[in-house]
Amino acid sequence: MSDNAEYKEAFALFDKKGTGSVSRETLGDLLRALGQNPTQAEVADIVASAPRDGTRSSPLNLAHPPLTLVAPLSFTVDYKTFLTILNRPDGFKPAGTPEEFIRGFQVFDKEGNGFIGAGELRYVLTQLGEKMSDEEVDELLKGVQIGPDGNVNYESFVRTILSQ
């Protein structure tokens, strides 16, 4: 399947009402479904930079998006605008290398043995940085091996998650 056909198919799946547009609430999920990894803040900046009515007299400037989000809840993105957003500079940049994520988890590894507590892992994922919901963490931890002592090998965890 060509990239363009894949993009159209994904867009159609997220266009729940068949209106030719997707809501701002689902834009981040749509971008992630196509291999991008925008943070919630990046999605907010994209939404704030996008046209409100599907038209714009000047090109969409995503190289330097605004820092604040002031957009109505009813904001939607049409397919043409979506393609501009999808093809923005650094849109397909990698989320990070396994080594970068492992270094991040080492901060919480008090004993330096490659393990952190499952509860601590849950806390990190739901309370720090780009916060995940409890449901998202439950889904993420489904395939993770938790040792009898309640610890998780975070290197294995990172490599498993990034290989999906």
Summarize pLDDT for 78-98 with one digit per residue, the tens.
999 899 888 888 777 777 788
46-65 tens-digit pLDDT? 888 776 554 443 444 455 44
Confidence of residue 36 (pLDDT cuts 50, 70, 90): confident
Q: Residue 48 and residue 46: Cα distance in Å, rounded?
A: 5
Mean pLDDT of 120-139: 89
Half-sphere exposure of 22 (CA within 13 A, CB side): 25
- Indicate where the chain has its CATH 1.10.238.10 domain(s): 3-86, 98-163
Fold of 98-163: Recoverin; domain 1 (1.10.238)
Whole-structure pTM value: 0.57
Tokens of 54: 């599907």
**What fold does the segment set 3-86 form as a domain?**
Recoverin; domain 1 (1.10.238)
Distance of alpha carbon 91 from alpha carbon 37, whole angstroms: 8
